[in-house]
Chains A and B, each alone.
Chain A
Amino acid sequence: MIKAILIFNNHGKPRLSKFYQRYVRGRASLYCCNCIHSGLIGGSDNKLIYRHYATLYFVFCVDSSESELGILDLIQVFVETLDKCFENVCELDLIFHVDKVHNILAEMVMGGMVLETNMNEIVTQIDAQNKLEKSEVSHICHWYQCALIVL
C-alpha cells in the first residue's frame, strides 16, 4: 500500500502532501524537512521511493507489499499525466493548482491503492469533469449577471 505521496522542491519546500494513513501532525511536517537526506522514514516496514525532475522531488512512501520498480514507474506515469493536463507542467502549476493536482492524483491512487495507470483514461476523466464543472460555473456566472442587471 502507498502510505503517503509528497512533492517538494530542491529547497525542501513542500508542494504537495497526501497521506493515506493517519500520521501525527508534528511528524508529518518533520518528514518534509528530512526526507531528502535520509533514505528511509517511518517504521520498519516503510520505504521511500523518489524521482527527481528538474526542480521537484516526487516521493512515494510505501510499505513492503509494493514493488519498488513498479512505484518508480508509477511516478513517471503521474508526471506524464500532469504534463498532459497542464500542458508543459512546471512547479508553479503545482503551487497554484494544488486542488487540480490532487484531483489527478485521486484518479490514479485511491485510498493508497493504485486505481488507474492508463494515462489516456485519466486525462479523459479529468477533462470530462472539468467540462461539467465549467458548464455549471458559467451557468452561475450568468445568473449573477442577471441579478445585477435586474438591479
Chain B
Amino acid sequence: MSDVVERTLSALPGLLGQQDPGAGPGGGPGRVSATSRLGGLIRSITALSSKHEEEKLIQQEQTNLKATVSAPTTTLRLMKECMVRLIYCEMLGYESSFGYIHAIKLAQQGNLLEKRVGYLAVSLFLHENHELLLLLVNTVVKDLQSTNLVEVCMALTVVSQIFPREMIPAVLPLIEDKLQHSKEIIRRKAVQALYKFYLIAPNQVQHIHDKFRKALCDRDVGVMAASLHIYLPMIKKNACGYKDLTESFVSILKQIVGGKLPIDFNYHSVPAPWLQIQLLRILGLLGKDDPRTSELMYDVLDESLRRAEINHNITYAILFECVQTIYTICPKSDLLEKAAKCIGKFVLSPKINLKYLGLKALTYVIQQDPNLALQHQMTIIECLDHPDPIIKRETLELLYRITNGQNVTVIVQKMLDYLRQSKEEYTIINLTGKIAELVEKYAPDNEWFIQTMNAVFSVGGDVMHPDIPNNFLRLLAEGFDDEKEDEELRLYAVQSYLSLLEEEDTFYPQKFLQVMSWVLGEYSYLINDGDPEVIITRLHRLLKQTFVTSETKAWIMTAITKMSSRMSCSKTVDKLIQEFSTSLDTCMRQYAFELKHLCENKELMKNLFPLDASCDEIMVDASLSFLDGFVAEGLSCGAAPYKPHHQRQEEKLSQEKALNFEPYGLSFTSSMSSSGFTGRQSPAGLSLGSDMSGNSAEIGQKETNCLKLDGVRKLWGKEGYLPKKENKTGKEDKTQPVPQDSILMAHVVDPPLMQSEQQVVSLSEEEKEKQQLASTLFVGLGSNSTISLMGRADIITQKLKKKSKISETQNSEEASSFQNIAALPFSPLPDITPNNKENFQGSEHLGLRKVSLSSSEVLEASVSFDTSQSVTEAGLDEQLSNCRLSTSSLFADSNIEVFQPPQNIPDIVANKAPLSLCLPEELAGHPHSEIVKLCSSDILTVYWCKVWTDDCSLLVLFVANNSTSPLKTVNLVFESAEHFKIFESLSCHFPVIEAQSMESCQKCVQLEKVCTEGILSGSISYHLDTDTHLEFSLTFSLSDFIRPMKMTTEDFGRLWLSFSNDVKQNLKMSPSQGSLSIALNALKQKLKLHIVEIIGNEGIAACRLLPSVPCLLHCRTHARTLALWFRSSCSALPDSLLYQCQKVMEES
C-alpha cells in the first residue's frame, strides 16, 4: 500500500501542474498551460539570443530529463511529458539517445495516450536499423492482437514507419488477417503496412499478391486507394503481369471522373484528385508500347481531359498527368492534339507553377513531337531569362534534349552562362555532365571543343563528376579515325594549356591542373618550335603553389618525368630534383629520387616512357611469374603455401583453436627452387610496355634538339581565349573573344525558319535578337528542316565521335583504370603514397591489378639500376615474350576448338543439340546443364550450357557454322548486366569459323549483386555477304552461384552465432514431401546445399555464394509446416535464398 501512496504522491505535481490533457486542443489563449515544463523550455529558448546559449540550455535540460527518466519513481504520465520535451530537443538537432529506451518502455506500458506518445517518440527517434527497435517488436505484436481499435491503428502506423526487416515474419500473419477486418481504417492501414514490407523485402509478401487484388476491389475507397500504392511499383517493375487489371483501373477512373464517389472525396469540387493522378500514372505504365491496352483507355483519358477544366491548381495537376499518359501510351491523334493544346496553355501561362509544368511536359514530349517545341520557341527563349531559377533550369533541360550538331554552340553557350552564375553544387555537377556530353557528341571543331572543355573544367572545378576529365583525356589519347586530326587537336590542347599556365598566380581547380599536366606530359612534343625547358619551368612553378594538393603534385611530377625523358639534360629538372630531394613530403621526395636515378640512365627512361603510347595495351603478367623466385625463397624458408580465400575459411572452421604441436612439413631445398625457376625473370621495365619502336626514340631525340619557344602563337590570355589576330595579351580587358552575334549569324541558315525572319521588320531590336536566338536554338528541329531531331545520333558534324571499338559498357571501367595509369606511370608502390591510395580504392578490380603491377615493376626497375644496361635490355625482350607466353597459356582455355565431324545436313540440327556437341574435356567432369539452342539463323546456330565448377559458374557457348562457306569475323558481345559480371571480357571474337564446323568460348559469370534471377543478354554478329546481327538472352538464377560448403556441426554452431542477417519463414509442406529428410534432399539437389546434420525433425545445412559468402540454414518440421531460418554475413542473401527454397518446395 505504501508503494501506491508514494507513486500517487509523486504523480501529484504532474497532475496539478498540467492542464487536463484530456481536454484536448481548442479554446483560445488559455489552451497553453502556464506552468507546463514544455512551455517553460520553449519560452526560455525563445528568449535566448545566441546559438551558444541555446546549446547550454538544452544541455542543462537534457541533464534534468536524464535524471527524471531514469529515476524509478517517475510515473508514466510524467514520462509522457518528458518524451514531448525530448521530441522538442531532438527536433532542434540535439541527440538525446538516453531517452530512446524509455520511449520504447512507454509504448509498452502506458495507457492509450501515453502509448501513443511512446510510439510517436520511437518513430521519431529511431531509424530502421536501430538495434533497440527489436525491443519494440513484442509490443507491436501485442497491440496488433488487441481488441482496441486505436491500439491496432497505432501498431500499424508504427509498422509502416519503421520496422526491422528481419522481424517481418513475426507480424506478417497478423497483418494479413487485418486485411479482412471489419473496420475500413484498419484494412487501409494494413494495406499500407504491407506496402512498406513490399518495399523493404518484396520476396516475403510474394504469397499474398491475391490479397492485394482483393484490396483493390474493396468496397471502401480508401482501401482501394491504398492498394494503388502497391500496384504502382509492381506495375513499374513488370507491366506485363498486370495487363488484365487494366479494365478495372479504367472503370475505377471512369467512376471517379463521373462523380460516382461520395461527395466527401471532393476537393474544391474535383472528385478525388490524388486518386486520379495515381490511376493515370498506372494507366500510362500499362499502356506503354501496347496498342491493345491503350485502346481501352482512350475514352476515359478524353473524359478526364474534358472534365478537368475548372481553373484550380489541382485540376492542372490532373491535366499534366493526363498529358503525360497520353504521350506515354500508343498515340491517338485527336488525344495528342488536345494534349498539345494543354501544354500550350501551360507554357503560356503567367503563373510560375504552370509554366514549370508546361516546360516539364514539353521536355517529356520533345522526343516524339519536336514541332511542339518549335511552336513555343519564343516562349522558351523568354524562359531562359526568367527570374525564377527553377524555370531557367527546366528550360536548359529542354534545350539539352533538343541539341543537335547545328545548335550545339548556342545551347552550350547558354548552359555555360547559367553555370557561371550558379553556386549550388548539385546544379554544377548536373550541368557540367550535360555540357561535357553535348560537347563530346556534337563539337563542330577542335578549337571550340578545347575551349568549351576548358570553361567546364575551370567552372566545374572539383565538384564535377570525375568521369568528365577521364573521358576527356581518353578522347584525346585514343583519338579518332583521322590521325592528322588527332595531332591537331592534341597540339591545340597543349598550346591552350601552355598559355593558360603562362599567367602566374592564377587559381585553377585541381582537376583542371591534373588534366593540363597529363596533356603536357604526354603531348608537349607536338610543339615543334617550343622549348620543353619552358614548359617544365611552368610546371615547376605550379609545384610551389600552396593551393596545389599533393595528388595534383603527383600528376605534375609524372608529367615532368615524361618530358625529361625526351630531352638530354635540363637545368630545371636538376634544380627540381635538388629541391625536392630534401622535401618533407615523403611522396615528393620519392618522386625526386626516382627522377634522379632515371635521369642517370636515359636509355632506360626512354623505354619506360615511349612516345604517345598511353592507349597501348599494357601487357600484364597475370600469373605473377616474376614473383616465383620470391615465392620459392619463401617456401624454402618454411612459409605455408598460398591457399585461396574460401579454402582458408573452410580450413579455419575445421581446425580447433589449439596450438599446432606437429612439426612443419619438409621445406624445399633452395637448389631445387632456383633450378625450377630459371629461365623466368621478373619483367622489369615492362610496365608501360607497348613494344618500343625504334623510331619513337628517334622522334624524341630530334625534338629535344630543335624545340624553341619563340613564335608560339598566344591564344590564351587571363580572360580566356584571344582572337587570332592578337599577338600580345597586353590588355587585360579584352574579354570574350568570340562575339555572340557572330556565332548567331553564322548559324541562321535554315530555310523554313526564315519565315519568322520576315516578320522581323516590324519588331523592335530586342525582339529581333530573340528571334535570332530562337532560330539558332531551334535549327535542325521539326519536320521541315533537313535534319530531324530523332536523328540526333548521326548528325553530320560528328567530329568527336568515340571510336566504335570501345563499347559503352567498358567505358567506365577503362576510364577509371585509365586515370590510375595516368597518375601512376612512374609511381612508387601504392602503399607508400597516401594520395595514390584514393585512386586505387575507386578503381575497378581489373584496373587495380594492372596498376599495382606496373608500379611495382617500375620500382623494381629503378632499384636494379646497377645491373648493366645490356643485361636489362636483353632481359626486357625476353620477359616480353615470356609474358606473352604465360598470358596466352593462362587464357588458353577460353578459346577451345571443338573438333567435330562434318555435318552434311545442317537442317537436322533443329531443336536438339547435335550429338557431337560436347564440353571440353576439363569441364566434362563438372555438373552442367543440358546443351540447348540459344538462337540461330540459316547460317549459324548458337548453343549454350552452364557448367558449375567449384569456384565459378561458367557459361559455355558453341557457335556452329551451318553453311558451306567459312564465316569471317564472328563477334559475340554481351551487354553488361546489372547483377552479373563477366570475365575476362564482355565479348568473344572468332576470326574465322570453317564451314560445317563449330567454335566454342567460355565465360566466367559472377554474381555481383544478389538477386533471385537475372537476364544476361547479348548479340552475335557475323559477316557473310551482308552483316547479320542476332540477339539472344539467357537467364541465370541465384542457384547457379550457390555451392555446398562442407563443415561440421560445431563449426556450424560457431558460424551461426557470428552472423547477424537472418530471415525466418514457415512454408507449407505437401503430403508428398513427408519428412524433413525428403524436403532437405530436394533442397540439396536443387540448390546444391551441403547437409551438415539431421536430428529428428531438425536439420542444418550450409552453402556458399561464389566466391565465398557463407549462408547457413536451419530447418525444422512441425505439423506439415517447414520452418526455415537462414543466416548469412550478406544481408540480401538469406532473403533471396528463401525465395529459391519456396520455389523448390512448390515445384516438388
Residues on A facing B (Cβ under 8 Å): 14, 16-18, 20, 22, 25-26, 28-29, 32, 38-40, 43-44, 67-70, 72-74, 77, 85-87, 92-93, 95-100, 102-103, 106, 110-111, 113-118, 120-121, 125, 128-130, 132-134, 136-138, 140-141, 144, 147-148, 151
Q: A96-B31, A96-B32 are in contact. Are A20 and B25 (CB under 8 A)?
A: no
Q: Is the CB of B320 within 8 A of A67?
A: yes
Q: Among A14, A95, A121, A130, point to the contact of B24 (Cβ < 8 A).
A: A130
B1131 to chain A, nearest CB (A): 15
Q: A29-B93, A68-B357, A103-B116 are in contact. Are A110 and B314 (CB under 8 A)?
A: no
Q: Specify which chain B residues have a CB less than 8 angstroms from the CB of A14 in the assembled complex.
A: 91-92
Q: Is the CB of A73 within 8 A of B313?
A: yes
Q: Specify which chain A residues have a CB less than 8 angstroms from the CB of B95 in the assembled complex.
A: 25
Q: Is the CB of A113 within 8 A of B390?
A: no
Q: Among B36, B117, B195, B356, point to the contact of A99 (Cβ < 8 A).
A: B117
Chain B stretch 114-131: residues in CB contact (< 8 A) with chain A: 116-117, 120, 124, 127-129
Q: Is the CB of B22 within 8 A of A73?
A: no
Q: Is the CB of B87 within 8 A of A113?
A: no
Q: Is the CB of A129 within 8 A of B31?
A: no
Q: A120 vs B263: C-alpha distance in the bound complex, in angstroms?
A: 11
Give 23 CB contacts A-B under 8 Å: A22-B127, A29-B93, A40-B424, A69-B314, A70-B317, A73-B268, A86-B25, A96-B31, A98-B87, A98-B88, A98-B91, A99-B87, A100-B25, A110-B157, A110-B189, A115-B226, A128-B150, A129-B153, A132-B148, A140-B111, A144-B8, A148-B8, A151-B5
Name which of B5, B8, B95 has the most chain A CB atoms within 10 A of its CB: B8
Q: A86 vs B23: C-alpha distance in the bound complex, in angstroms?
A: 12
B430 interfacial contact with A, CB 8 Å: yes
Q: Is the CB of A120 within 8 A of B264?
A: yes
Q: Which residue of B lies closest to A25 (CB)?
A: B95
Q: A28 vs B226: C-alpha distance in the bound complex, in angstroms?
A: 29
B582 to chain A, nearest CB (A): 42
Chain B stretch 457-472: residues in CB contact (< 8 A) with chain A: none
Q: Specify which chain A residues have a CB less than 8 angstroms from the CB of B264 in the assembled complex.
A: 118, 120-121
B624 interfacial contact with A, CB 8 Å: no
B1144 interfacial contact with A, CB 8 Å: no
Q: Is the CB of B31 within 8 A of A17?
A: no
Q: A25 vs B84: C-alpha distance in the bound complex, in angstroms?
A: 19
B793 interfacial contact with A, CB 8 Å: no
Q: Specify which chain A residues have a CB less than 8 angstroms from the CB of B747 in the assembled complex.
A: none
Q: Is the CB of A70 within 8 A of B277?
A: yes
Q: Specify which chain B residues have a CB less than 8 angstroms from the CB of A151 in the assembled complex.
A: 5
Q: Which residue of A lies closest to B222 (CB)?
A: A116
- How would you classify the secondary structure of chain B's contact residues: helix, strand, loop or mixed? helix
Q: A78 vs B447: C-alpha distance in the bound complex, in angstroms?
A: 56
Q: Which residue of B lies closest to A16 (CB)?
A: B91
Q: Is the CB of A110 within 8 A of B192?
A: yes
B113 interfacial contact with A, CB 8 Å: yes
Q: Among A68, A128, A137, point to the contact of B353 (Cβ < 8 A).
A: A68
Q: Is the CB of B93 within 8 A of A28?
A: yes
Q: Is the CB of A92 within 8 A of B313?
A: no
B59 to chain A, nearest CB (A): 16
B267 interfacial contact with A, CB 8 Å: yes
Q: A135 vs B91: C-alpha distance in the bound complex, in angstroms?
A: 31
B801 interfacial contact with A, CB 8 Å: no
Q: Among B157, B189, B265, point to the contact of A118 (Cβ < 8 A).
A: B265
Q: Is the CB of A137 within 8 A of B32?
A: no
Q: Mark contacts of B175-219 with chain A using CB atoms, 8 A cut-off: 1 yes-contact digit, 0 otherwise.
A: 000000000010011001101100000000000000000000000
Q: A98 vs B5: C-alpha distance in the bound complex, in angstroms?
A: 32
Q: Is the CB of A137 within 8 A of B157?
A: no
Q: Specify which chain B residues have a CB less than 8 angstroms from the CB of A67 in the assembled complex.
A: 277, 317, 320-321
A63 to chain B, nearest CB (A): 12
Q: Mark contacts of B243-285 with chain A using CB atoms, 8 A cut-off: 1 yes-contact digit, 0 otherwise.
A: 0000000000000000000001101100011100100000000
Q: Which 5 A-B pairs have the closest CB atoms?
A: A29-B93, A69-B317, A111-B160, A134-B22, A22-B127
Q: Which residue of B lies closest to A82 (CB)?
A: B25
Q: A100 vs B24: C-alpha distance in the bound complex, in angstroms?
A: 9
Q: Which residue of B lies closest to A127 (CB)?
A: B24
Q: A127 vs B825: C-alpha distance in the bound complex, in angstroms?
A: 73
Name which of B5, B91, B113, B129 has the most chain A CB atoms within 10 A of its CB: B91
Q: Specify which chain B residues have a CB less than 8 angstroms from the CB of A147 in the assembled complex.
A: 4-5, 8
Q: A70-B314, A87-B26, A110-B189 are in contact. Are A137 and B116 (CB under 8 A)?
A: no
B11 interfacial contact with A, CB 8 Å: yes
A10 to chain B, nearest CB (A): 13
Q: Specify which chain B residues have a CB less than 8 angstroms from the CB of A70 in the assembled complex.
A: 273-274, 277, 314, 317
Q: Specify which chain B residues have a CB less than 8 angstroms from the CB of A100 in the assembled complex.
A: 25
Q: A17-B91, A67-B277 are in contact. Are A111 and B42 (CB under 8 A)?
A: no
Q: A144 vs B10: C-alpha distance in the bound complex, in angstroms?
A: 12
Q: Is the CB of A20 within 8 A of B424?
A: no
Q: Which residue of B lies closest to A143 (CB)?
A: B8
